[in-house]
Structure 1
Amino acid sequence: MYVFLILTTWSLLVGAVDITSKNLSLTLNPEVIPAEYVQSYVKTVNSSIEYVFLYPEIDNNSTARINVQSNATSEKPLLVVVKQKKGILSWQIPLFIESKNTNTQWYNKTSRTLCSLKYYKQLNQIKLDNSNVIVSIFTSSELPVFFNLTVVLENDFYLGLGETREITISPSEPRYYGYSFSNQVESGSVLMKIESDSDTCMTVAIQNTTCPVFDLERNIQFSRYWQTVSQLGGITIPKEIYPSGFFVVLVLKGDDTDCTDQTGSVLRSKIVKLSITPNITKREGIKSALIAFIIGIAFFSFYIIGVITHNVRLRRRLRQQLTDELETPSRPEELLTPEIEEAGPRYDDTLNDDSSLDEDDIDMLDDAFSDKEIIRTRKVLAVSDLARKDPKILRHKSRLYLYYLGTIAVFYALPVVQLVATYQNVLHVTGNQDLCYYNFLCSHPFFWFSDFNHVFSNFAYILLGLLFIILTYVREQNDREYEEKKKSYGIPQHYGLFYAMGTALMMEGLLSACYHVCPNHSNFQFDTSFMYIISVLCMVKIYQTRHPDINARATVTFAVLALMIFLGTVGVLNDTDYFWIVFTLLHLIVCLSLTAQIYYMGRWRLDKGLVRRVIMTFRHDARAGVIHLLRPMYGGRLLLLVIANLCNVAIAVLGNMHHEKDFATFLLAVLMLNLLLYTFFYIVMKLCYRERILLQPLCYIILSFITWGFALYFFINKSVSWSLLPAQSRRYNMPCKLLNFFDFHDIWHFLSALAMFFSFMVLLTLDDDLEDTHRSQIPIF
């Protein structure tokens, strides 16, 4: 036992002596060198020596940049420590930069900028003397290691307003510069802009003027604001957030994955142009917004005044006509019922006694089939054949669109508002400018919004939607004064659909504003959902015009819309080739089904007896002769429908070839194209039946074409693209174009709102020429 204790003690003593000898052998011999700025110092160092470079005093308002180059290895790196009176900065050479898809990159040339002492929070209230800059360089390598040290004063550290500076950066040579608002008299904001001809990925950040500065890739995201940049970037910096100024930090990334989804070149260097330009003040921004809003209110007011004036004149003229008729003695034959009334069935005779408020009773064709001798023996059906329901029932059914839409709008909008509010809060907390796809060159922070102008410009949809609802109400009240005449003359009006269209336009403005709070790939559906609804409601309205009794039920319509929104969600989340194939097949099948529905004027049904009916019809036509078999019953209608189907096939092919992972926009394009085709079909068929287009709807048609044309121009010349990565999307960023406050997308909001309003007015007034035409003389198509 004693022998064991003695041996253990002896071994511990020997180990201690060995460790002491090793530590003594690793003792560094410091060599202090009085150094001068700008001068290069080329030395060799090993584990036995440490170089300490003592630089002259530097003013507390100035800073310096340290450049060190060495041939050290990663196993035995060169260590660089820079000491100031209240700060220390250290790194190693080679400096390793992480890369997501490649091996770690090592850089033997490094450059860092010192933080001025006046920016240390602890020293803000203490008056300091000038301090020295001390640079210590040492290594653990036994072999000699070469290094080259240069320290230069940064005399151009502060950026000037309106100044453009060309800067070269690399992953191991980040740069940052300061800006002070002291020279800017008016309170407001400035725009920091980055431009480059290179696609090499970098991060630009805005930080408070405090030390330490986060100027490495691993810590730059702790900045107040930061974003990835390839060729173009910008951040609007309000003075109220940075009253003392800010730092602009430029860091080149280790690869290009965050900007282009590719690793990029191994040799990484980038030349950028950095500029600070004045932005508009809050007062100027409010003035620009008020100008746009006043123009909208003026348009709204003049339109209302015009409608009121027109109604007053119309009532005065009608009263005068009634007075003239009462004063003029009538001959007995003039009191007879006009021949045109006798040509059509009387309303009271065609009204079913068992009509109810049941939607199944409204929508099915049972009433039309009850008079099969009339329906099936006439080649051209009249509106009177499909307008046999009680107007109260039709009015109730039409109102259901508005009720369902209002319910959907409330339940849809509330979670949307909550979600985008969360997005905005996350943006403020994290400073991640890649979260939202703004046009950073025309993005004006105001109140709680980071991009107020794109949110505000959606007021046009709300204002014009409200105007359309008012015009619809006025028209409905005018029609009620002549309700008895309206029972047999003109197109039966379903004003509930028009109210739903106006409400949908207002909701489009609200949800588009919510989307623009933080536009990105995940919430783009907020901006398109009610555009889907508007497109479908317009098509339903066009079909209802000549098919009053067999119009689609509101429940079925909104079920179809729910399916569309579901497909839009799946397309955004799972944008694969298989999904596009399935959607294309579904798209073309629906087109064929609607073609049959329109061609046979609602008398076509997809059921078990379809094949049998087709075979029987084919046999019957074959017995009548080959010419009768091949000749279509409705040649003009068939030609237009064939053209429409070819257009749908073309857009399906183009969508599969060039969809660019933007299914939501493609689905909207499909719906808008079919709405345009159906409107064109309706107008052409109207002219084919020698019906007139009055001056008012003609003006609306021309205005809608003009506004849609200009609106699409501004839409195509986009300022962002959420289908790309954030850095790629910023290539589309552009300066403000209107009132120094609005860009092309804001103008798209204004013009598209006008275009939809004029399009709605086309549908509201297109058949005004038929007001005095008996329904038995109005054809169905």
Structure 2
Amino acid sequence: MVLRSCCKFGPVLVLFRLGYVALLWLCVTHLRCARAETKTVVQKDAEFDVTYNDTVTSDNQTIYAFNHTVSRNKTEGVRVTVDVLSEGAESSPILFVVRQKQAVLSFQVPLILRGLYQRKYPYAHVGRTLCQPPTRTLTETQYFFVDVSTLSSLGTQYQLRISRVDSFTLHTDKKFSFTASPSQPQYFKYVFPDGVDTAIVKVNSEMTFPCSVMSIQDIQCPVYDLDNNVAFIGMYQTMTKTAAITVQRKDFPSNSFYVVVVVKTEDEACGGPLRFYPLRPDELIDAGNRSKTLDVVVSPAISSDVYVMGMLFCLGIFLSFYLLTFLVACVENKRSVDRFTVPGVTPVSPYEYGSFGECVCPFTLQRSLESVTGRSRQESLSSIEEDDYDTLADIDSDKNIVRTKKYLCVSDLARKDKRVLSKKYQIYFCVLLLTCSSLLQVVNVTGNQDICYYNFLCAHPLGNLSAFNNILSNLGYVMLGLLFLLIVLQRDIIHSRALDRNDLNALECGIPKHFGLFYAMGTALMMEGLLSACYHVCPNYTNFQFDTSFMYMIAGLCVLKLYQKRHPDINASAYTAYACLAAVIFFSVLGVVFGKGNMVFWIVFSVLHILATMLLSTQLYYMGRWRLDSGILRRIVYVIYTDCIRQCSGPISVDNSSLTYIVLLLFCLSRAAYGLLKTPNDFASYLLAIAICNLLLYFAFYIIMKLRSGERIQCMAMVCILFTAVVWGFALFFFFQGLSTWQKTPAESREHNRECIVLSFFDDHDIWHFLSSIAMFGSFLVLLTMDDDLDDVQRDKIFVF
């Protein structure tokens, strides 16, 4: 019965329920409309420079109407300043909407700005400058409205003030001071005057922190003047004390731009400390007083005449080396031709130590005479030869026996066929060319003003190059590298012609002349200039290897060339040498990425550094007859037992003394200890310093041993040595000026920026490029000419050390 009744009255109940829902919806809609009708909207005619104190709730909305006359010939800014006086307004902020003719600006107060890890900072005092749309008429009256509203049912008290900014337009070479904060950014307008195509905008402050941002933006609305959007368009730089951006007229169709200065909510971008992390995700952090006083000045950049003078100055310096080298080469070429055009004449050796075939070091002979007896000189020579030289018949053919002689001459280590050695050392040049081409293919620069570490106070743009002067100054590496190749080519041709004539001087005298390493050195100097220019397109830590790779190669090639002079048969192959240099570059990259403050990396690097030094020292001490294999430990124990315990044997060669390698190992240990204790931030420079120190130590050792052996340094080589030493001293002075550094934040790096010092075009780092290229060229000439005094000395009278 009940079920039958439900079925009978079911449609009626459904219709009743639908009608009830419709009636309820009508009631709610009516109430909403009634509530909206009760909300009061008040419009007030407002005036500039008047402070309006008012209260806003969800039931009322206030509109302030302003009007002002805009002149096309005079630009003035309009600034809105708002203060919230009620407490607890963060939960229900006030919304301010400024409606203009061509723009709308809206912001809430308190203004919530976010920092790192989304930390929130409230600001109850807000000041914003209104965007000024351009006017086409001579004068025009513009209207704008400020709408004030909130969703809070409680009354919130506020202050509103609209004022004119009379100094809104910046003037050329006139400093203007102002104050900014995260909630009160500032921006100003600059119009290019007639005759000025490039300008430098400089912003300075006596305060390091708070961290700030300087931005250059085109004249358009809206203007991005908050911490969370200032990087959206235009060019920008973070700054602590100084920032500078070079602006070109061609980049701004309106011939004007805005200079925007924003104070960041946090200082991490400028290298400041990391603030505490909030306990709750929605926790608001008191930002404190982050106001900063700054100065801005816009100055005209250099004219095109200065560019021309800079380029002519650069070309003039290095073309003068071509002229000087040409004059010297004419004189030297005449001497060389005169010397090599007397075939079949045995040269007279300046050394009188014995007959042809004898090789005894003079200072060893002197020690023998003083310590043993008063025998005559010839008797001592005979005694030394009988007692200490192996008399086996194969001493002149087996290299294992030759290299155990106590007194080695260059002839003992120059037994390989000249054609074989020539091909071996030409591989250095070929492999280097392959390395150069592969590196150039991967050079690609992207970034903005905060990525590139320029000296912004002396960065002169040209086309798409932001610092053309830093690129132009690398021309010296290329031009002097090419000049060195021409000098080597001239010597190579003269020597080849002498060999073709079977000239005795070329065949039997002097240090064996292999030019492959010299060609590689000249090419490396040219590539250093090209890749340094690529690096200076946008210098930063991601492309530093283009600037330093060939520095390692140049240092390594110079060491190899020094060793090759007295050890032509046992020098490393090109493949082994470049593999070691590649490992050095690889560790350099790892050190930059992982080495900063990483003790594990420094321990691993120091251990590998010491092991590599020990292995290399052992290889050099045993003249290439020592091998690393499974029997190494057994041989080490055997050598210690036979040479140190059973009997005290002398070194393999008198001047190949173990004392030299002990000093080298101690030097290596001291550098490793320094790295572990200091863990320098610039690992690339630390590694390069190690390579340069090794080169200087070996070069000093070579000079000392050369003089001790009774050899002399000719006038040309001595002039090159003195000139190069002086130039290196001045070059290092300018290098350590440190105009920028990518080991710090961009803002901290800009604190070291300086003005140009030469022709208003070149800075200290450009002078380093000039002087270092000249110094490297001079160093190569020293290596090329240092043993010219031995060209008339037979090789069995030239000592190995």
Which TM-score applies when normalising by structure 2? 0.85
- Partner Cα separation in structure 2 for residue 456 and residue 693 of structure 1: 36
Partner of residue 132 from structure 1, selected from 135, 139, 143: 143
**1:591 corresponds to which residue?**
613
1:185 has 2:195 as partner? yes
Match of 2:569, SS state, is helix
One-letter amino acid of the structure 1 residue matched with residue 287 of structure 2: V
Q: Is the 8 A contact 2:196 2:300 kept in 1?
A: no
In the other structure, the counterpart of 2:761 is 741
Structure 1 window deviating more from structure 2 (28-37 vs 87-96): it is 28-37
Q: Secondary structure at the match of 1:570?
A: helix
Change in Cα spacing, 1:196 to 1:314, as seen in structure 2 (3 Å) is same
Secondary structure at the counterpart of residue 227 of structure 2: coil
CA deviations on 1:375-417 (whole Å, 9 max, x unpaired) are: 43x311111111111222211211111111112211222222x
Show the counterpart of 1:547. 567
Q: Which amino acid aligns with 2:764?
A: F
Structure-2 residue corresponding to 1:348: none
* AA of the residue aligned to 1:114: L
Say if 2:621 and 2:656, in contact at 8 Å, map to a contact too: no
Q: Which of 209-218 and 156-165 deviates more?
A: 209-218
Match in the other structure for 1:242: 252
Residues 1:761 and 1:176: Cα distance change in structure 2 (over 3 Å):
same
SS across alignment from 2:723: helix
Q: 1:632-664 CA deviation, whole Å, 9 max, x = no partner?
A: 974894444333333322222223344444322
Is 1:85 the equivalent of 2:112? Answer: no
Contact kept in structure 1, 2:510 and 2:795, CA below 8 Å = yes
What residue is the counterpart of 2:332 in the other structure? 310
Q: Following the alignment from structure 1 to structure 2, what is the Cα–Cα distance between the partners of residues 555 and 632? A: 28
Alpha-carbon deviation of 1:694?
2.1
Please list every run of 5 or more consecutive structure 1 residues that lacks an aligned counterpart in the other structure.
119-123, 346-365
Residue 663 (structure 1) aligned with residue 683 (structure 2):
yes
In the alignment, what sits opposite 2:131? 115
What is the distance in 2 between the residues matched to 1:82 and 1:565? 58
Change (3 A) 1:402 1:341: farther
Letter of the structure 2 residue corresponding to residue 199 of structure 1: F
Distance (whole Å) between structure 1 residues aligned to residue 642 and residue 146 of structure 2 = 102
Compute the displacement of 1:623 (Å). Answer: 7.0
In structure 2, what is the equivalent of residue 397 of structure 1?
A: 424
Asked if 1:297 is matched to 2:325, the reply is no
Aligned length: 729
Asked if 2 retains the 8 angstrom alpha-carbon contact of 1:401 and 1:554, the reply is yes
Q: Are 1:141 and 2:152 counterparts?
A: yes
C-alpha change, 1:141 and 1:191, in structure 2 (3 Å) is closer
Q: Could you list the per-position Cα deviations for residues 170-193 of structure 1 after superposition, in whole angstroms to 9, with x for gaps in the alignment?
A: 1111110000013x4243333333
Q: Is the 1:383–1:775 Cα contact (8 Å) retained in structure 2?
A: yes
Report Cα offsets for 1:193-218 as digits up to 9, x if no partner. 34342222222111111222111223
1:200-349 alignment, distance < 5 Å: 200-242=210-252, 244-260=255-271, 262-263=273-274, 266-267=287-288, 268-312=290-334, 315=337, 342-343=356-357
In the alignment, is the contact (CA less than 8 A) between 2:92 and 2:152 conserved in 1? Answer: yes
Alignment-derived partner of residue 70 in structure 1: 84
Task: Give 1:121's aligned residue.
Answer: none
Aligned to 1:370: 398
- Given that 1:344 and 1:774 are in contact with CA atoms closer than 8 Å, whether structure 2 keeps it comes out as no
Change over 3 Å in CA distance of 1:737–1:669 after alignment to 2? same
Shift, 1:54, TM fit: 2.7
Contact 2:199 2:298 in 1 (8 A): no
Q: What's the RMSD between the two structures over aligned residues?
A: 2.8
Aligned partners of 1:601 and 1:471: how far apart in 2?
A: 32
* Equivalence for 1:477: 493
The one of 509, 513, 532 aligned to 1:512: 532
- With structure 1 as the length reference, what TM-score do the two structures score? 0.87
Q: Does 1:5 align with 2:15?
A: yes
Q: CA deviation at 1:512?
A: 0.9
**CA, structure 1 residues 39+455, in 2 after alignment: closer, same or farther (shift >3 Å)?**
same
- Give me the whole-angstrom Cα distance separating, in 2, the residues matched to 1:771 and 1:489: 6
**Would the alpha carbon gap of residues 649 and 20 (structure 1) be closer, same or farther in structure 2, given more than 3 Å must change?**
farther
Please show how residues 563-578 of structure 1 align to structure 2 within 5 Å: 563-575=583-595, 576-578=598-600
Residue matched to 1:441: 457
The aligned residue for residue 362 of structure 1 is none
Q: Report deviation, 1:677.
A: 1.2
Distance 1:437 1:367 in 2: 61
Match of 2:778, SS state, is helix
- The aligned runs of 1:404-443 (5 Å cut-off) are 404-416=431-443, 419-420=444-445, 423=446, 427=447, 432-443=448-459
Distance 1:280 1:409 in 2: 35
The percentage of counterpart residues that share the same residue type is 36
Q: Is the 8 A contact 2:122 2:287 kept in 1?
A: no
Q: Which digits, 9 at most, give the CA deviation of each residue in 1:273-298, with x for residues without a partner? A: 21212210233223212221222112
Contact residue 344 and residue 775 of structure 1 kept, 8 A? no
Task: Specify whether residues 637 and 23 from structure 1 end up closer, same or farther in structure 2 by C-alpha distance, changes over 3 A only.
Answer: farther
Structure 2, gaps ≥5 residues long: 1-10, 276-285, 360-393
State the Cα deviation string for residues 79-131 of structure 1 (Å, max 9, x = none).
Answer: 1122223332211111110111463111111001011231xxxxx65777311
1:516 shift after superposition: 1.1
Q: Is the 8 A contact 2:115 2:265 kept in 1?
A: yes
* CA–CA separation in structure 2 for the residues paired with 1:715 and 1:405: 27
Query: Structure 1 residues 656 and 687, CA, compared in 2 at 3 Å: closer, same or farther?
Result: same
Higher alpha-carbon deviation: 628-637 or 134-143:
628-637
Matched position secondary structure for 2:724: helix
1:629/1:394 Cα in 2 relative to 1: closer, same or farther (>3 Å)?
closer
Conserved 8 A contact 1:492-1:545: yes
1:768 to 788, 794, 800: 788
Query: Does the CA-based 8 Å contact 1:443-1:453 persist in structure 2?
Result: yes
1:523 alignment partner AA:
N
Q: Please identify, of 449-458 and 651-660, the stretch whose mean Cα deviation from structure 2 is larger.
A: 651-660
Residue 487 of structure 1 aligns to a residue in which SS? helix
Q: 2:366 corresponds to which residue?
A: none
Distance 1:548 1:458, change over 3 A: same
Measured at CA, do residues 717 and 491 of structure 1 come closer, stay the same or move farther in structure 2, by a change above 3 Å? same
